């Protein structure tokens, strides 16, 4: 996606706008499948919550991917995009038994992450195979330090509860067909990942009729210079070997599953916003764009540092700016950042905007959510219209006052 392509998109579809590059998504998908080509049965389930546009889902479907979903609405989106139910896994946290039942009735693989629901579900439906989400209590402390942590995490069934879990499975006669972990952002390096995997293998030995082991995600992609990137190739080599050895001792070729979001779509997306005002104060120069945390909340929510380029003036003298939005609340995108000289009307390009950006957008300040564009086979396609005033009023009821 070169600057001219992006500037033309901003001109044609207006700003602010999200732009995604299909080729980058396809390359990341292939990188991951290549890294694990020594595993006989590999299954990638794209985590829908990262970027849930139906055209993006159709792209993943065309690649042979499955999807990982966390709500019945994401399941419905996936079905609408053409995924067969058996290519969908439902990995919710804290949802009702009724929602799990509804999803199970659609023929989707259920993943249960607490003993209370497991017992109720197993009692009612002993014949529906269920995957269980384990919390291995592993996180990276410092660089390579392995520490046992997150004992209070709300996710997963603690490995310390395995004896009770086994008792529930025996008492209900239910069929456990998969073991899963997703440790989120805690795992920074491969050794920690492998360490957690060993705990998963150890747990798997307790269940005789498994079909798959799901290692979740948490793969890192770099946002700013110096950031850690998960070395997928090295992880592929090491984990594949360990997995194949495990399958031998288990006596069955299991499927190795992953459910990446960020790794597959983060770098494929950029966010384009236009500079409304360049405002000099006593201490800093603000560049204020036609957006805010209503469109891209990650910097304010997580302190994420998205690289920002001035694609209207890429050769301009570099100066220091604080890039902020137009929301009536502090909405800082970047503090004291070196950027090519910014003028009113310039288009700024926020990188790594594919994952957890549009999908977290809101109407705060009664602003419209942006448009989304997908570059596919060299052409820019509008895949979501910018909202209009009707969307703001939608579902609001005026009573007589």
Of 111 and 172, CB closest to ligand PLP: 111
Residues that bind ligand PLP (CB under 6 A): 47, 49-50, 68, 70, 91, 182, 216-219, 259-263, 355
Q: Among residues 57, 31, 10, 8, which one has the least CA distance to residue 350?
A: 10
Closest residue to ligand PLP, judged by C-beta, is 261
Tokens linked to 98:
């009724």
Task: Reply yes or no on whether 131 is catalytic.
Answer: no
Q: Can you give the length of the chain in residues?
A: 401
Of 182 and 369, CB closest to ligand PLP: 182
Q: How far apart are CA 259 and CA 43, in angstroms?
A: 9
Of 275 and 355, CB closest to ligand PLP: 355
Buried b (16+ CB within 10 A) or exposed e, 263-286: bbbbbbbbbbbbbeebeeeeeeeb
Tokens linked to 75:
């399941």
* Helices and strands: H and E segment counts in the chain: 12, 20
Q: How far apart are the first and last CA of the chain?
A: 52
Of 65 and 172, CB closest to ligand PLP: 65
Residue with tokens 């950027």: 339
Q: How far apart are CA 46 and CA 217, in angstroms?
A: 10
Residue with tokens 């950029």: 270
Of 6 and 57, CB closest to ligand PLP: 57
Closest CB 28 distance from ligand PLP, rounded Å: 11
Q: Do residues 315 and 226 touch, judged by C-beta distance below 8 A?
A: no
Closest CB 263 distance from ligand PLP, rounded Å: 6
Tokens linked to 299:
């910097």
Spot the catalytic one: 131, 328, 349, 357: 328
Q: Do residues 289 and 343 touch, judged by C-beta distance below 8 A?
A: no
Closest CB 217 distance from ligand PLP, rounded Å: 3
The number of C-alpha atoms within 13 Å of 344 and in the hemisphere containing its C-beta is 5
Tokens linked to 183:
């440790």
Of 61 and 312, CB closest to ligand PLP: 61
Of 304 and 332, CB closest to ligand PLP: 304
Q: Please give the angle made by the CA atoms of 85, 136 and 66, to the nearest 5 degrees.
A: 20
Q: How far apart are CA 41 and CA 200, in angstroms?
A: 18
Neighbours of 126 (CB within 10 A): 13
Active site residues: 328
């Amino acid at each position: 996606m070169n600057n001219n392509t992006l500037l033309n998109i901003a001109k044609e579809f207006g700003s602010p706008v999200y732009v995604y590059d299909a080729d980058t998504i396809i390359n990341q998908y292939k990188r991951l499948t290549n890294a694990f080509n020594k595993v006989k049965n590999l299954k990638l389930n794209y985590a829908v919550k990262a970027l849930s546009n139906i055209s993006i889902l159709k792209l993943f479907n065309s690649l042979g991917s499955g999807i990982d979903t966390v709500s019945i609405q994401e399941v419905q989106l996936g079905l609408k995009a053409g995924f067969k139910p058996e290519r969908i896994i439902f990995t919710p946290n804290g949802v009702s038994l009724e929602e799990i039942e509804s999803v199970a009735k659609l023929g989707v693989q259920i993943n249960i992450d607490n003993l209370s629901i497991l017992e109720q579900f197993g009692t009612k439906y002993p014949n529906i195979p269920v995957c269980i989400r384990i919390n291995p209590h592993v996180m990276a402390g410092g660089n390579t330090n392995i520490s046992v942590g997150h004992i209070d995490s709300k996710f997963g069934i603690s490995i310390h509860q395995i004896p009770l879990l086994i008792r529930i499975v025996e008492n209900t006669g239910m069929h456990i067909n998969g073991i899963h972990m997703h440790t989120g952002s805690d795992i920074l390096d491969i050794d920690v990942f492998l360490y957690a995997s060993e705990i998963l293998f150890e747990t798997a030995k307790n269940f005789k009729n498994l079909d798959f082991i799901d290692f979740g995600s948490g793969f890192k992609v770099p946002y700013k210079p110096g950031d850690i990137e998960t070395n997928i190739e090295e992880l592929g080599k090491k984990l594949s070997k360990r997995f194949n050895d495990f399958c031998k001792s288990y006596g069955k070729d299991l499927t190795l599953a992953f459910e990446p979001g960020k790794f597959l779509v983060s770098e494929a997306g950029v966010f384009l916003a236009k500079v409304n005002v360049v405002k000099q104060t006593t201490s800093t120069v603000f560049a204020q764009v036609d957006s805010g945390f209503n469109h891209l909340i990650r910097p304010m929510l997580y302190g994420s540092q998205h690289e920002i380029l001035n694609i209207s003036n890429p050769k301009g003298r570099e100066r220091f700016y604080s890039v902020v939005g137009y929301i009536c609340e502090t909405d800082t995108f970047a503090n004291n950042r070196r950027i090519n000289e910014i003028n009113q009307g310039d288009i700024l390009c926020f990188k790594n905007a594919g994952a957890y950006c549009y999908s977290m957008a809101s109407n705060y300040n009664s602003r419209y959510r942006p448009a989304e564009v997908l570059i596919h086979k060299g052409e820019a396609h509008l895949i979501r219209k910018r909202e209009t005033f009707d969307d703001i009023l939608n579902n609001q009821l005026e009573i007589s006052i």
